[in-house]
Chains A and B, each alone.
Chain A
Amino acid sequence: MSGKLAISLVVNGERRELLAEPREQLADLLRGSLMLTGTHLGCEQGVCGACTVDIDGAPARSCITHAGSCDGATVRTIEGFADDAVMADLREAFAREHALQCGYCTPGMLIAARDIVLRLPDADEARVREELSGNLCRCTGYRGIVRAVLAVLARRRATLSS
């Protein structure tokens, strides 16, 4: 029962064969074994959202998702969105709207924001705030973040209707 777990993952498009401690959470595997340190650890109890990554196409908390249970999964961390068009729009909007200061929450915030934009194309400000309630930011007061997400939603709606 002891010894390491063999875990096979596709991370940011690349297949990785890894060995993990049985007690390891996904975030520690990504940061410690793959040096993907864009995934941040804040509360380690699923509340702050800094560790949010994409697992099999849906955002999830990597700090409370067991690495072993992800064997066979496809994981996308913030480093894996360089060529993603929605993420490019969000990055630009975050910069323009001052949606970050220290940047600690930003990787999780962006992955949550991308999910909102794709899943809820008609979301209004109240819905965006509700959906972002699982990502804590202690710098900005959220106004810039909400503006940035709403701007990307509005732009996508305009593009789709034209």
Chain B
Amino acid sequence: MKPAAFAYVRPKDWPRALQLVAEGARAGAGTQSLGPLLNLRLAQPGTIVDLRHLPGFSGISQRGGGVRIGAGTTHAAIEDGAVPGRTGEIMAAVARRIAYRPVRNRGTIGGSLAHADPAGDWVAVLPALGATAIALGPGGERRIPAVRFVSGIFETALGADELLCAIEVPVLPAEARWGHWKFCRKPGEFSKATACVLSVPAHPPRAVLAALDAPPLVVEDASALLADPATEAPHIVAHIAELTELTDWRRALAETALRRAVAAAVGS
């Protein structure tokens, strides 16, 4: 199908982009999620504001203890090593398994997070990494911890007059252990259950369970899960089952994803 009619605007600066969003325009970047929704007419915005050409929209810079990733940085750039160090290593492996390379060449980390599809990869991974979303509004920048950014299915903590302009990820030590498991019957398809585990020396390990038709569930201290995954994984899945109806097979996938993410983190 073809999209329903919309107006297209490509602003040259952020204030104009923010003004358009405040007036109700839908933000678009790589449009690798929005494009299909437009073609299927599941999304019928009146106006699309194209953020791709805004200054500083993509690119990486070091900021103290963190690395700032422009929201318009593509998955392919991250796959190819744009983010330095251990954090970059983890993110490159995640990026490589997002959809397909031609999609990753256009799709952006910020677009994916702001789209807040429960099955989205960064929706699960960025909270696990302890990332921070940087929202830009009329009053300047506002920092939102990634663990609180996705508030519902396709819902975020962004205000109606804000745009996601960057994501800050911590510089993880080389010893940081990482486990990530997602269930896809075919490479590149939407995950049916995703689990992530990050273990950094001298910090409690963090776990995230996602892609279950609910916002990601963050376990800030996953020590019990790492100590006894067989017992603890069903407890974590039960928390999600309070928010959304889970079929038995989905529940089994979620538990297995958690156990495999733990096994990967322990073995990494």
Contacts A5-B8, A71-B10; is A64 near B2 (CB within 8 Å)? no
Closest to B50 in A: A69
Q: Is A52 an interface residue (CB 8 A)?
A: yes
Q: Is A22 an interface residue (CB 8 A)?
A: yes
Is there contact, CB below 8 Å, between A134 and B8? no
With most chain A CB atoms within 10 A of its CB, the pick from B5, B39, B40, B188 is B39
Q: Is the interface of A mostly helix, strand, loop or mixed?
A: mixed
With most chain B CB atoms within 10 A of its CB, the pick from A45, A52, A61 is A61
For residue B1, which residues in chain A have a CB less than 8 angstroms away from its CB? 44
Is there contact, CB below 8 Å, between B7 and A49? no
Q: Is A59 an interface residue (CB 8 A)?
A: yes
Is there contact, CB below 8 Å, between A66 and B28? yes
Number of interface residues of B (CB under 8 A): 33
* Bound Cα distance A5, B3 (Å): 16
Is there contact, CB below 8 Å, between A46 and B36? yes
Q: Is A2 an interface residue (CB 8 A)?
A: yes
> CB-defined interface of B45-76 with A at 8 Å, one 1/0 digit per residue?
00110101000000000000000000000001
Q: Is B223 an interface residue (CB 8 A)?
A: no
- Option from B4, B35, B187 in Cβ contact (under 8 Å) with A130: B187
Q: Is A115 an interface residue (CB 8 A)?
A: yes
* Bound Cα distance A74, B137 (Å): 33
- Option from B36, B48, B52, B186 in Cβ contact (under 8 Å) with A64: B36
Task: Report the minimum CB–CB distance from B79 to chain A (whole Å).
Answer: 10
Is there contact, CB below 8 Å, between B101 and A131? yes
For residue A65, which residues in chain B have a CB less than 8 angstroms away from its CB? 31, 35, 106
For residue A61, which residues in chain B have a CB less than 8 angstroms away from its CB? 32, 35, 102-103, 106
- Option from A59, A130, A134 in Cβ contact (under 8 Å) with B99: A134
Q: Is B105 an interface residue (CB 8 A)?
A: yes
Is there contact, CB below 8 Å, between A23 and B2? yes
Is there contact, CB below 8 Å, between B35 and A46? yes
Could you tell me which residues of chain A, from 20 to 77, have a CB within 8 Å of some CB in chain B?
Answer: 21-23, 25, 28, 44-46, 49, 52, 55, 58-61, 63-66, 68-69, 71
- Option from B10, B32, B38 in Cβ contact (under 8 Å) with A68: B10
For residue A58, which residues in chain B have a CB less than 8 angstroms away from its CB? 76, 102, 105
Is there contact, CB below 8 Å, between B32 and A112? no
Q: Is the interface of B mostly helix, strand, loop or mixed?
A: loop
For residue B47, which residues in chain A have a CB less than 8 angstroms away from its CB? 1
* Bound Cα distance A89, B28 (Å): 38
Closest to B39 in A: A44
- Option from B38, B40, B52 in Cβ contact (under 8 Å) with A69: B52
Q: Is A101 an interface residue (CB 8 A)?
A: no
Q: Is A133 an interface residue (CB 8 A)?
A: yes
Given contacts A28-B2, A46-B103, A66-B8, could you give 7 more A-B pairs where the C-beta distance is less than 8 Å? A25-B35, A45-B36, A58-B102, A59-B101, A71-B10, A134-B103, A135-B100
In order of increasing CB-CB distance, the 8 nearest A-B pairs are A134-B100, A64-B35, A45-B36, A1-B7, A133-B187, A22-B8, A58-B105, A59-B102
30 residue pairs A–B, Cβ–Cβ below 8 Å: A23-B38, A25-B35, A25-B39, A44-B1, A44-B39, A46-B36, A46-B99, A49-B100, A58-B76, A58-B102, A58-B105, A60-B106, A63-B39, A64-B36, A64-B39, A66-B8, A66-B28, A66-B31, A66-B35, A68-B8, A68-B10, A69-B10, A69-B31, A112-B102, A115-B101, A115-B102, A130-B187, A133-B187, A134-B102, A135-B100
Interface residues of B (CB under 8 A from A): 1-10, 28, 31-32, 35-36, 38-40, 47-48, 50, 52, 76, 99-103, 105-106, 186-188
